[in-house]
Amino acid sequence: MANPFANTGVEGTMKSTFLVWLSHGPLAIVLPVLWLASSPALHYAFKHLRHIQTVGSSLVRILLALAELVLTVFTILSCSHAGCAREVRLKTRCTQNLREIAIAFSAYTQDWDERFPPAGKWMDAAKKYLPPEKANQVFTCPSALSPFGYAFNSALSSLPLTQVTFPAETVMVFECDAKKPNASGGLKDLPQTPRHLSEGDNYAFVDCHTQWRRRIFATSLRWNP
Ligand SMILES: [Zn+2]
**DSSP letter for each residue of 149-211:** EEEEEGGGTT-BGGG-S-TTTBEEEEEEEESSTT-EE-GGGS-SS--BTTTEEEEEETTS-EE
Residue 7 has pLDDT above 90, yes or no: no
Rounded distance from Cα 174 to ligand 1 centre (Å):
9
The angle formed by the CA atoms of residues 152, 154 and 158, to the nearest 5 degrees, is: 100
Question: In this structure, are 144 and 193 located in the same domain?
Answer: yes
Rounded distance from Cα 193 to ligand 1 centre (Å):
12
Rounded distance from Cα 141 to ligand 1 centre (Å):
4
Rounded distance from Cα 1 to ligand 1 centre (Å):
61
CA distance 123 to 121: 6
Rounded distance from Cα 144 to ligand 1 centre (Å):
7
Q: Name the percent of the chain lying above pLDDT 70.
A: 68
Question: In this structure, are 173 and 205 located in the same domain?
Answer: yes
pTM for the full predicted model: 0.68
Rounded distance from Cα 204 to ligand 1 centre (Å):
11
From first CA to last CA, the distance across the chain in angstroms is: 69
Helix 9-24 and helix 26-49: axis angle, to 10°?
Answer: 40
Rounded distance from Cα 224 to ligand 1 centre (Å):
22
Rounded distance from Cα 194 to ligand 1 centre (Å):
9
Residue 67 resides in a domain: yes
107-123 mean pLDDT:
96
Element (H, E) at 99: helix 82-111
Residue 181 resides in a domain: yes
Considering its fold, how many domains does the chain have in total?
2
Task: Identify the domain containing residue 108 by its residue range.
Answer: 83-220
Rounded distance from Cα 140 to ligand 1 centre (Å):
8
Q: Between 140 and 72, where is the model more confident?
A: 140
Give the CA distances from residue 29 to residues 15, 21, 33, 105, in Å, rounded to whole numbers and listed in that order.
20, 12, 6, 46
pLDDT of residue 141: 96
Question: In this structure, are 182 and 106 located in the same domain?
Answer: yes
Rounded distance from Cα 157 to ligand 1 centre (Å):
22
Residue 1 resides in a domain: no
Cβ-contact 204, 99 below 8 angstroms: yes
Non-local CB neighbours of 150 within 8 Å, separated by 6+ positions: 97, 98, 101, 139, 141, 173, 174, 175, 176, 178, 183
Rounded distance from Cα 16 to ligand 1 centre (Å):
42
User: pLDDT class for 179, splitting at 50, 70, 90?
Assistant: confident
Residue 70 has pLDDT above 90, yes or no: no
Mean pLDDT, the chain, rounded, equals 80
Q: Extract the runs of DSSP E, i.e. beta strands, from the chain.
A: 148-153, 171-178, 184-185, 200-205, 210-214
User: pLDDT class for 1, splitting at 50, 70, 90?
Assistant: very low
62-84 mean pLDDT:
69
Question: In this structure, are 94 and 195 located in the same domain?
Answer: yes
